Structures are given as C-alpha cells and as structure tokens.
Structure 1
C-alpha cells in the first residue's frame, strides 16, 4: 500500500530519492527499534549524534566546513524521514544544523566558522540556540537578557527557556540586548555563570531535551560575538531555516501515523471483515491522505522556491502552519482508528500526536504564523499597536 496517491515521488530527482532511501534506512535501523523505549524513559540517545554526523545530516544544507551542501528539497526530505521516526530526533538535527550551525555560518566570523562548524557537522560538538525567554516566547523583542561591554569582554545576564540541547551542548548561541541593539554571542557552556537545567517531566518530545538556561555574569570575549548579527533579523533568519525543515518534518510524523492506521485497519477484523472494508474507515483514511498530500505539494513547492532563491518568510509560515495542522490532525485520527490499542507505545500515532503539540508551539505558534500571513495579505502588522 502507498500513501503517495498523487505520485509526488515522480517530481523528485534521482539524487533526492536516493537521499530519502538512505535516511529512511537509517531511521529503520537506528531509531524505530528503540524509540518507544526512549520516549517512555524520556531519554535522548546521545549515541545517535555521531551516527547522524557520519550520515552527513548535521548542517547538511550548509556548504563548506565539512557540511554536505545539499539542496533544500534534499534537506526537507531528510527531515521528513527523521520525523517519521520521532519529532524529538528531527528536532535535534534542526537545533544543531538549522539554528546553531546556521547562526555561525550566516553571522559568524571566518575564525568562528572554522572553529565550530566542522566539529558540529561531525557531531563532535553540540550547539544550542538561546532566544526564547520565560516571559518572551512569541515576542522575542521583549527579551530581557542583556550583554554589557566590560573592556575587551562582554558580560551577559539573563535567562532563557525551552532551549533544545542546552544541557548537553558545548556551545550556546545566546541572543541578548546591548546598548547598540540585539546581538548574538557564542558562549561555551562550561563558562562560569552558565547553567542549563533540563525541563522535566514532559508529556511531549520525551526523546528530546529542552532546558532552562541561567546566565549570571557570564563573561564572553569580543572574539565570541557574532560580528554579522545585528538586530532581531539575525535570529529570525535562523528560525526560518528551522521552520522550513518543520514544514517537511511534520509530514513524516503524519505519514507514519497514516501508514500505521492503514496496516492496522487491514489486519483488524470487526463484524467478520477487515476494518479497512468499512465505509467510515475508508472515509477517514481518505481524508488523512488528502490533507497530507496537499501539504506535501506545498512543502515541495517551497523547497523548489528556496533553491531558486525566491522563498519569502510568509511562505515559510504557510508551510509550517499547513504541515503541522495536517500532521497533528492525522495523528489524532489515526490514534482513534486504532481504538484502545492506539494508546499503547506499540503504535506510533499517539506518540506523534503528543510530540506534534510541541512542534505546533515552537518556532512560532499557529497564531504567530497566521499573523505573518495576514501581514503579507494586508500590508498591516498586527503584532504591535
């Protein structure tokens, strides 16, 4: 059985299909056999990091410095296959590559790129991205973290929240206000005054790590400031890289949930015939497939536009919003189709649905992306009075 009823595969190149097959095989080999246990125990598998690095998946859309330099569609396909395994694993790759590594690649100095990117691409160093704060989630302009100049150094004080990987990271990209506006800093996590504490317990993204960060008089040399990062545009450029990956990744979770529902419906017998033979079951499956295929075509369109250098922020918002909405609805419907068995970790839909609650919230809530689209339509920003 196939869920690709529109033959979207025919729109991919041989190289893109090869990337899909390679990452799918990695997921089948390294993630699927263990993910239920990782999720139940709330464990992030650090042993997977060098495996992902060796596969060229860390910063794979970046060029040079040991990065794979793959196209936008190949990157999206890889994120989709990883999230078919679990959103938490895809999130690690996104935080490492699309946030931390992209910040260094886009806004760092040559010395910073040479020092960090090759090691991060191999998985020998882990990065995190400190933008969100306890009182500044959807409104990063309200951040309170402040960096003051002290001779040749900067001293940073503040707090960050829901920062992926922070407790295992070697370097943190920290965004802070200064007297000259928002700037970005590379903070080595063993610096005095830097503390990262995992947020526990969680009902979502349990095979991933999200943290609180406290910065108390953290001293950073000028050489660790990202020289090209000026204003909120800098972190937003990184966020858009991650949002693009989410527009693809969420569809992997949705597809996996649909495939599980299809397999279950074919095997489960009710009233003397397969569940899949029931008209209501077929209607539910058809709706799930339709919504995923529509979102998949949008994601592919965005990928082609990104490769052509034409992709705009509101288009990324449309992709993130459409994909996550479709995926979470499909995961919930698939769980319902599995009946009582659907609440068991033996099956993936409820795990995907729980994870997608986080995916729906981070990198911009539904409301934020709706207002980005509204701004593009009307030319009027509704974010501030």
Structure 2
C-alpha cells in the first residue's frame, strides 16, 4: 500500500477532513498520478451537500493536474466534471495511452466500448453515471482505505482530492511538459464544459452565429465567453454580440474584460429579456447557453431565442425539475433546445487545444482562479458558495 493525503467527506453536509489514506495496488487499466493542482468545482460541493448522489465516506475531486449567475434554487449547479493535473508515476499492465513521466490533465471517465464511445462521443457514454458518480471501480472494488476501512473513491475515475491518486486510464490526457499545470487544472471540467458548449454545440462558424448570450458568469460561463471571443477574433463577422448575464456586478465587469460586448444584470429576469431584445434590435438571440441550472433562467433563455436559434443547457437543475418551452414559437421559428455534457468534448483532442489557447494568451483562465492549500479546502468551498472566488484551485506542493 501507498500512503496519500486526502480531503475526505465523512457524511452528507459534513466539512472536509484532511487525513492520510492508503492506496491499493494498481489495476490493469489504472494510473498512479502525483497531482500538482486540483480545481474545486460546484459538482464536488453538490455531492458533499447531498444535492447530487454520493456514497459516504467519499473522496471527491475531478479537476486535477500534475508537476456565474448564482442559481435561484439552492441545489441547482453548474454541471462540471472533476478534473486535475499531474505527473504519471506508475501505470497498470494494460495501460497504453500514457507512461511514467507524462504530464496529464484529468477529465471524465468513459467505457470505450459502447456505441457512443466507439463513435468518438464519450461524453454521452451509456455508462457515464456509473463511471463518474458511483465512486468505485467498474468491478465494484475500492482503490483506497481510510483508517483500515475501504472508502468510496474513483470519483469521475480520479478522486483528485487525494495526492497521489489512482486514476482510470480513460481520464488521462497527455499535454506538453512546458504547460503550467497549476493553471490548467480546471480545463478538464469547467473550462471544457463552457468552451465546448460554444465550439462543439453552438458551432458559431458552421451555423453563422452573430449573437450569443451566456447566463451565469461562473467558471463555466466565463469559459464560454472566452471561447466566443476567440472565435470572433478568428471570424470578425461572427459573434459580434456577446451578452453576459449575471446578478453579480463584479462578474459582469470581468466578463466585459474577457470578451463580452454587453452585460446585463439579471436581478429581474423580465428586464433581462427586454434588454436582450433591445440589444438584438428585436430579433432575438442566435444562441444562448445556461450555466445556472435555474429553471426560471432556462425558461428565460428559451424565450430569448430568435428565429433558428439554439438554447443550450449546461447547468443542472434538481432531478425532478421541469422546464416550460413555448412549443408553437419553437416550431414557427425552427428553434432548438439541446443539453450538453462536458461541452460535448472529446477530451484528448479538445484539452490540448484549450491549453494551447491559454499559452497564446487567448484564454485567460488564470483570471478566474485563486489558489488554496489543501488545509484550506473548507475555506475554498465557502468562497465558491459565497461567489467570492470563481475557481478555487488546490495547490498540492
């Protein structure tokens, strides 16, 4: 067994405990990664608080790396996958994609065998829930023990609130060793989700999108704004209108700095709709992305669409929530409503692209981040709940 430092949630709504755990031997398709940084995500907090399913005690964390409009409903979240970044130490006997010494970003797990995975769409893997939320290996074994008792780990195939950590091979994305891993840790979840919603779902170039509105300027929404700005720089005739909507003025001002052309304070959703119609000269919006998971906001997003528009849900409301879409205007205007998981991204291709955009100073994700020590995990959680920090990042050394 190998000793590791872990941030543990013992039971629902209890604070994180910093303690030692023991790691079991690697399985054939597992990788031992020494983490450099781990992003703290709303998904981690939602499981801790019981808003998303989890078995306790549990090791969370899914924004690891090696060497927003706040929801109206308390349990609505930005649905992001836990990711981290680090350096590969050891690999299992059947691992082929990475080797010791590789620098890797960690993203979501997938089976590789279902139809979606075989067709290059692992973000809709038929085993996605089991492989990412069940917090144990697919053979129902446990990788980690705490005080001699097996603990639920392998959250999103990685449980990157543990260092070193055992990771499923599918989660590992190899990157250039010159990249700053402590900055890139959130790429595999929040940034991938927001940027991917623009690049891979809205597809502004293919669909000739002139206007975009993003509801909720947290980590995911900010990444969407940045991605839209990148595409506008490359295609000046597109995305000439990028609207950021939030209730926090500081976040709206940041959105303006990272690419938004217009900002709207959403203290009153009716006024928000009026302002969007004003900005678009009454034509409605070409594309809209909701990062809040708030049902009233999702409904407002659908209402904001113009002819041929697409509304994309990224934030996840409570499981029993229902939205209300006006069907006739959708038919008459040939509009679309679509959900997106992980930005519909094939991580091994998309994350290196995002990392390269950061290196070119075109994706300033460092503007969103604040660094914390592992011992400050509960402070990081409170800051994300208060909205004082958009993206907390745990630095392991």
TM-score w.r.t. the length of structure 1 is: 0.24
Greater gyration radius: 1
- More strand per residue: 2
